[in-house]
Structures are given as C-alpha cells and as structure tokens.
C-alpha cells in the first residue's frame, strides 16, 4: 500500500491509496523540554499552545516549510499515522510534497523524517506540481499553467509544463509570518499582548489586503502590557491591515516576478487560462483581487484550496516508476527517489 504525506508548517495531511485523505491535523507537538517525552500531537497539541506549564513546550517543528527539529517531526508523523492506520502499513512507498528551491540537506531532512515510519522508498514532488494535480490539471502536457500555492510556511509559485517547473519562486514568509507580525502590531498599537492562536483566528475572521465595504469586527483577548491585567480590544479589517499588508505584497510581487521570467509561449497559455491559487492563505480576503489587478490576468481560488496539495500527492502515486498507470510518454512530476 502506498501513501502520500503533506508535511505543512501549519497542517499535516495524509492520503492512503484506496482510502483517500485520512488525516488532517495541526503540525504541532507538545513535549517535555528535558526528557523529550511527547504529551500530545496534532489538534490536541495545537490547543495547548501558550498554555503549557514550565518545562513543557508546544511547538511547530516545521518552520517555513523546512524541518527545524527532525526528531520531533519523526515522532509526530509516527504517532499520527498510528491513529489513522490501526493496522501497520509495512514498508510503504511514500510521496511527499516539498517547497520549491530546497537544498539537498533540507530534502534529506524531509526524507529522513518520512522514512522513520519504515518507508521503502520516498518520492519528492514540489508543492506547485502537487497542487496542480490536485486541481485536476494535466501537468504532463506542454500547455503552461501558473499555480500559486500559498500556505502557512511558504508561498510557492511555479509555471508548470511537461511535468516540470519552467519557472518557480518560493516566498519564505506567508501565513505564519502574518500571525507573528499581527502579534507585534497589536502590542505596539494597543498595548495588548496576544498569542499566535488568537492572531491566526483574527486573521481568518477579519484579515484582508483591500478595503472592504462590509466592516466586520473581531474581539482580541489578551494581557495588558502595562497593567498586566486581562483586557480585550475590538478590531476591524482596516485596523489590522497594516500588519499583514507587507507580506501579502511580497507574495503578489513574487507572482509578477515569475510571470516576467516566463517564456513567451507559456505566457500565452497563462494569459488564456489565468492563475490558479491554492493553499489556506489563498482565501485571504482581497488577495486574489490584488494579484489580478497587478498582473491583469484572471485569478481563481480553487474550491478546496487547502486540500489541493495532499490530493495531488495522492494522484502522484500513479507516477511511481513501476506503477501500472504510469504515463506512456514517460514524463513524471516526481523527483528522484530516496
């Protein structure tokens, strides 16, 4: 049995051949700092962020799409797989997505983390190619497609043709960086100290990159930086826009940079089809509109944007070199196996 894994900085998703997506949990692990004993993983650990006692830490072991603490990632993947696969999968072949432009050392860290579950072989695929497969695009054709996979750790933009990336760019600051900037912004403007979970909830509820006609508000609850007492502040879209605008603009400019480097024939295909946005952050209010205005192209956000990469990894299982359904032309989006 083959499986696919999307090791995201914010969520970890698993696809099992014949079953579909079987896991979608937060990429968080709670552990003892001294003994490294694991207390919780996934959504349970996410609820513990900012609430752990001394000596216990809840952390994201993946940062900007790169494995920061390999031992914690290995434990997290192993524990989560045991929950969704009661019967142990014996030496599976694994397809896993990675951001564009990783070094060989960073790729090896991903392979080691996934291989710790007893994988027979590990195949890597860049996120834009996996997202395109998840959108139902035939990436083995010579027709050019521009995909922007905008997640928590990175924003990966790529022009895909004949199963490969013609032009690509990766922005290392995305949704997670917005949460951190929002924490700093709220402390500076309102003298209110909040956690990253609260910042993320605020971003999802009222975050935007363009001025809206309909004004929504969100109640930020935290600790007063001066008195130290609990306090709340009601904020609207325009109040927090300055905190996330710079990172959003970096992503928009990265899309434009990729277009400027795209070969003319592929640029013609993209002009006809437009740009496809995937990833959780692609649903940020006004982001698609801003990209469209900057590039003067049609931009659409996929209906199931957050699941495109893992579903694409699942579809990529058929490209494994000895798969029965491998394409006759021999073109494969998978990178070298480890």
135-176 pLDDT per residue, tens: 999 888 899 999 999 998 899 999 999 888 999 999 998 999
Q: What is the pLDDT of residue 212?
A: 76
**Token digits for 63?**
């940062």
Mean local confidence (pLDDT), 187-214: 90
Helical packing angle, 308-316 and 127-134, nearest 10°: 90
Q: What is the pLDDT of residue 119?
A: 80
CA dihedral 174, 177, 181, 183 (to 10 degrees): 130
**Token digits for 225?**
């930086």
Residue 323 has pLDDT above 60, yes or no: no
Tally DSSP H helices, then E strands, for the chain. 10, 18
Q: What is the pLDDT of residue 90?
A: 67
Q: Which fold has domain 3-135+309-319?
A: Nucleotidyltransferase; domain 5 (3.30.420)
Burial of 57 (0-12, 13-18, 19+ CB in 10 A): middle
Mean local confidence (pLDDT), 329-337: 73
**Token digits for 145?**
């497609």
> pTM of the prediction?
0.89
Q: Which fold has domain 140-301?
A: Nucleotidyltransferase; domain 5 (3.30.420)
Mean local confidence (pLDDT), 14-18: 86
- Other Cβ atoms closer than 10 A to 247: 21
| Partners of 231 in the β-ladder | 222
Alpha-helical (H) ranges within the chain are 43-46, 70-84, 104-115, 127-134, 175-190, 196-206, 237-261, 264-273, 287-295, 308-316
Residue 330 has pLDDT above 90, yes or no: no
Of the candidate ranges 79-88, 146-155, 197-206, 263-272, the one whose mean pLDDT is the lowest? 79-88
Residue 89 has pLDDT above 70, yes or no: no
Mean local confidence (pLDDT), 201-221: 88
Using alpha carbons, select from 148, 90, 145 the residue that is nearest to residue 119.
90
Q: How far apart are CA 13 and CA 26, in angstroms?
A: 9
For the chain, give the mean pLDDT: 88
Under the banding of pLDDT at 50, 70 and 90, the label for residue 324 is: very low
Percent of the chain, pLDDT > 90? Answer: 52
What tens digit of pLDDT does each residue of 279-307 get? Answer: 999 999 999 999 999 999 999 999 999 99
Q: What is the pLDDT of residue 16?
A: 87
Largest Cα separation within the chain, whole Å, is 69
**Token digits for 139?**
């990436």
Mean local confidence (pLDDT), 20-48: 90
Comma-separated ranges of CATH 3.30.420.40 domains in the chain? 3-135+309-319, 140-301
């Amino acid at each position: 049995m083959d499986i696919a894994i999307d090791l995201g900085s914010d969520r970890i998703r698993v696809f099992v051949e014949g079953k579909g997506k079987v896991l979608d949990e937060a990429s968080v692990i709670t552990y003892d700092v001294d003994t490294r004993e694991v207390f919780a993983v996934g959504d349970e650990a996410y609820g513990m962020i900012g609430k752990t006692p001394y000596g216990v830490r809840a952390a994201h072991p993946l940062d900007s799409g790169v494995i920061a603490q390999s031992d914690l990632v290995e434990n997290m993947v192993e524990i989560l797989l045991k929950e969704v696969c009661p019967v142990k999968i014996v030496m599976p072949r694994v397809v896993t997505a990675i951001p564009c432009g990783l070094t060989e050392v960073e790729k090896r860290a991903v392979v080691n983390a996934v291989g710790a579950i007893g994988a027979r072989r590990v195949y890597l695929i860049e996120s834009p190619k996996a997202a395109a497969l998840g959108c139902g695009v035939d990436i083995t054709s010579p027709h050019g497609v521009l995909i922007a996979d905008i997640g928590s750790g990175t924003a990966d933009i790529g022009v895909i043709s004949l199963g490969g990336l013609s032009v690509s760019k990766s922005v290392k600051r995305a949704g997670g960086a917005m949460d951190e900037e929002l924490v700093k912004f709220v402390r500076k403007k309102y003298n209110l100290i909040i956690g990253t979970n609260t910042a993320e909830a605020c971003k999802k509820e009222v975050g935007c990159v363009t001025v809206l006609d309909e004004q929504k508000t969100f109640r930020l609850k935290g600790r007063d930086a001066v008195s130290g007492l609990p306090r709340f502040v009601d904020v609207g879209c325009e109040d927090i826009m300055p905190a996330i605008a710079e990172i959003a603009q970096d992503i928009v400019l990265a899309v434009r940079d990729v277009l400027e480097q795209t070969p003319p024939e592929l640029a013609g295909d993209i002009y006809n089809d437009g740009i496809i946005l995937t990833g959780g952050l692609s649903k940020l209010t006004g982001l698609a509109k801003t990209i469209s205005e900057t590039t003067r192209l049609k931009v659409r956000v996929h209906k199931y944007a957050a699941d495109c990469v893992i579903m694409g990894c699942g579809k990529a299982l058929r490209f494994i070199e000895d798969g029965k359904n491998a394409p006759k032309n021999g073109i494969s989006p998978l990178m070298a196996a480890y």
